[in-house]
Amino acid sequence: MKSGANELAYQIDLKKADGTRVSAYIQAAGVTASNQTNANQTSKTCASGGNSHEFTVTVLETDIEAAVDGDYSDVVSVLIAAN
């Protein structure tokens, strides 16, 4: 994330419903976890049946404590497409 010239690192993690990590933490801009399978085929909102995934964005406490004051932001894009 950026605030002017200042940067704040973050991690992105993707897990299956059973907690199995689909990808290691994704830290570099433009890195993707592609070709993932077993999406929920029963519900468009993953509310029932099938498999769902968990998408988590984390900023480490140590990074927050070391950050320069500012309004940090970034854009994370998630593309979901049918097979």
Does a structural domain hold residue 77? no
Q: What is the pLDDT of residue 69?
A: 95
Does a structural domain hold residue 74? no
CA distance linking residue 13 with residue 54, whole number of Å: 8
Is 2 within 8 Å of 71 (Cβ atoms)?
Answer: no
Does a structural domain hold residue 82? no
Is 66 within 8 Å of 10 (Cβ atoms)?
Answer: no
Is 23 within 8 Å of 78 (Cβ atoms)?
Answer: no
Does a structural domain hold residue 61? yes
pTM: 0.59
Does a structural domain hold residue 81? no
Mean pLDDT in residue range 18-23: 71
For the stretch 23-76, pLDDT in tens is: 655 554 555 555 555 555 566 666 665 556 777 888 999 999 999 999 999 887
Question: Which secondary-structure segment (H or E) carries 65?
Answer: helix 61-66
* CA 36 to mean position of chain CA atoms: 14
If one counts the domains in the chain, the total is 1
Q: What is the pLDDT of residue 4?
A: 95
